[in-house]
Chain A
């Protein structure tokens, strides 16, 4: 069964304190892995797509990496405005499948 597990469930950081969020997955052939940011009461906002092991993507203070079994979202010197829930999702290779989501990591950054 295809599955996505994110850890930790919640993470509290001080402003400037770098850390990483983990997304481990089991899937029958990976078409793509996606990271989203979700603010309270809003829809998820797309951040990154990763397609193959070794790939990395960066956007401001965020960097996403991918191995054959997991992905990391590294947050460097976070600011309070980075506080949000970060969601990871995968799409398997087989046709006719939708995104399979993890339950997310809720990040709180205090000043």
Chain B
């Protein structure tokens, strides 16, 4: 089974802190994604990566950056955390092309910025 693991289930950070959210997948997937999920807004794409060292902005990249140095690991960085970044963060991975392009998600990180 595909496994996507996020480093923390819950995090509490202070305004202005630099925050790192880590995600690891074990199925050699090319694509990895970071979404945030907020009530009434659904899942919104922050960034995605289709290869090592490659990244694409999603719908809401402001205030975030990403890093993908190895195929299995995709990190989301909040450069200076703000209260409006309090949210559920979800990492996912998928294969490229053909059948089986469904994405598999991690368990989520509930981030609270105070």
Contact = CB atoms under 8 A, between A and B. Distances in A.
Nearest to B56: A96
| Contact count band on A | 20 to 34
Contacts of B50: 96
Contact of B90 (A31, A43, A49, A104): A43
Interface residues of B, number: 26
B62 interface: no
Contacts of A29: none
Given A96-B50, A98-B33, A103-B41, A43 B105 contact: yes
Nearest to A4: B42
Contact of B33 (A34, A45, A99): A99
A20 to B, nearest CB: 20
Contacts of B107: 42-43
A102 B42 CA distance: 7
B103 A42 contact: no
A31 B43 contact: no
Contacts of A49: 99-102
A24 to B, nearest CB: 15
B78 interface: no
A91 B45 CA distance: 13
A103 B105 contact: no
Contacts of B108: 41-43
Contact of B40 (A32, A45, A91, A103): A103
A29 to B, nearest CB: 14
Contacts of B16: none
Nearest to B96: A95
23 contacts: A32-B101, A34-B102, A34-B103, A41-B110, A42-B107, A43-B4, A43-B105, A43-B108, A44-B43, A44-B90, A46-B102, A46-B104, A46-B105, A49-B99, A51-B99, A89-B103, A98-B31, A98-B48, A98-B58, A101-B35, A102-B42, A103-B41, A104-B42
10 closest Cβ pairs, A-B complex: A43-B105, A103-B42, A101-B43, A98-B48, A43-B108, A44-B105, A49-B102, A43-B107, A98-B45, A46-B102
